[in-house]
Amino acid sequence: MIYIGSHISSSKGYRAMGKQAVRLGGDTFAFFTRNPRGGKAKEISEGDVLSYLEIAQEYHFGPIVAHAPYTMNPCAAKEDIRIFAKEMMQDDMKRMEYTPGNYYNFHPGCHVGQGTEKGIELTSRMLNEIIMPEQTTIVLIETMSGKGSEIGRTFEEIRELLDRVTRQDKVGVCLDTCHVWDGGYDIVGDLDGVLQKFDDVIGLARLKAVHLNDSMNERGAHKDRHQKIGQGQIGMEAMKRIVNHPKLQGLPFILETPNDDEGWAKEIAMIREWLS
Ligand code: FE
Ligand code: FE
Ligand code: ZN
């Protein structure tokens, strides 16, 4: 059993997101906590959240996976950019508590020439500054493709980031299939081996969510261009093995494929058919 859903627009609030997820056949979803390019977030209405929670309960939703604005860079060289990222994440941590016990996924950032070590140091420092001891939200570090100066391409880098976080119970990992493939991990030819490696280096208990995307590029391309499920270099058969892998059961799987609503509904239905 897995939970499956797509990215959904947050512009009309929580209830609308819940209804849209159901309409697409999903039992989880992802959304941006604010404009993906960053900036001020909309007020949260408690009534709206309550009617969302009713929908989530009625349709047995799994954990939902919020996404931080992707342009923020927690390990930027310029201090004002890092402060901007920190303030957004701090505000997001408060907002996430309206829907307790869910996931907040973020990109660990680009070291922009400072080196991977420095990047890891800055991003982990920021995590320690934004995580509140009383929060119920788990912050997920997303595995990255290694485009540009991205940190978090290798499982070792993710492990190092995690190790430096004080509140070990508030952090986890989101595995993006397009990113790990573009990062060089052979999830087509050796899925068992890659997951074993993840377990050895990070620990599978840390894995809380999957971004299920095919990739336009060959393995190791470091490009990060998502493709529809089964239509890219990862391909249909590998996707079937991923969603059915025993070590990935129980997790929310989020589609970030280049689709419209109809396309996502079709992908969700197709994946449900694959589940054995
Ligand atoms: Fe992402
Ligand atoms: Fe992703
Ligand atoms: Zn991506």
Ligand nearest to the CA of 147: 3
Q: Output the pLDDT for position 68.
A: 96
- Full 3-state SS string of the chain: CCEEEEECCCCCCHHHHHHHHHHCCCCCCEEECCCCCCCCCCCCCHHHHHHHHHHHHHCCCCCCEEECCCCCCCCCCCHHHHHHHHHHHHHHHHHHCCCCCCEEEECCCECCCCCHHHHHHHHHHHHHHHCCCCCCCEEEEECCCCCCCECCCCHHHHHHHHHCCCCHHHEEEEEEHHHHHHCCCCCCCCHHHHHHHHHHHCCHHHEEEEEECEECCCCCCCCCCEECCCCCCCCHHHHHHHHHCHHHCCCEEEECCCCCHHHHHHHHHHHHHHCC
Q: Output the pLDDT for position 70.
A: 87
- Nearest-angstrom CA–CA distance, 226 and 255: 10
Superfamily (CATH) of domain 3-275: Divalent-metal-dependent TIM barrel enzymes (3.20.20.150)
> 178 C-alpha to center of ligand 3: Å?
7
Residue with tokens 């391909």, as numbered in its chain: 235
Ion ligand 1: residues, CB within 5 A, are 142
> 51 C-alpha to center of ligand 3: Å?
31
- Nearest-angstrom CA–CA distance, 98 and 174: 21
Closest CA to 7 of 268, 274, 192: 268
Q: What is the pTM of this model?
A: 0.97
Ligand nearest to the CA of 258: 3
> 211 C-alpha to center of ligand 2: Å?
5
> 145 C-alpha to center of ligand 2: Å?
10
Q: Where are the domains of the chain?
A: 3-275
Ligand nearest to the CA of 211: 2
> 213 C-alpha to center of ligand 3: Å?
8
> 274 C-alpha to center of ligand 1: Å?
25
CA angle 240, 261, 13 (to 5 degrees): 115
> 53 C-alpha to center of ligand 1: Å?
24
In angstroms, what is the C-alpha Rg of the chain?
18
- Nearest-angstrom CA–CA distance, 207 and 156: 14
Residue with tokens 């509904």, as numbered in its chain: 265
Residue 115, sorted as left (phi over 0), alpha (psi -120 to 50) or beta, turns out to be: left
> 46 C-alpha to center of ligand 3: Å?
32
Q: Output the pLDDT for position 36.
A: 74
> 42 C-alpha to center of ligand 3: Å?
25
> 246 C-alpha to center of ligand 2: Å?
21
Q: Over the chain (276 residues), what is each successive 10-residue block's mean pLDDT?
A: 97 97 98 83 93 98 96 96 96 97 98 98 98 97 97 98 98 98 98 98 98 98 97 98 98 98 98 94
Ligand nearest to the CA of 256: 2
Q: Output the pLDDT for position 71.
A: 86
- Nearest-angstrom CA–CA distance, 136 and 133: 9
> 58 C-alpha to center of ligand 3: Å?
31
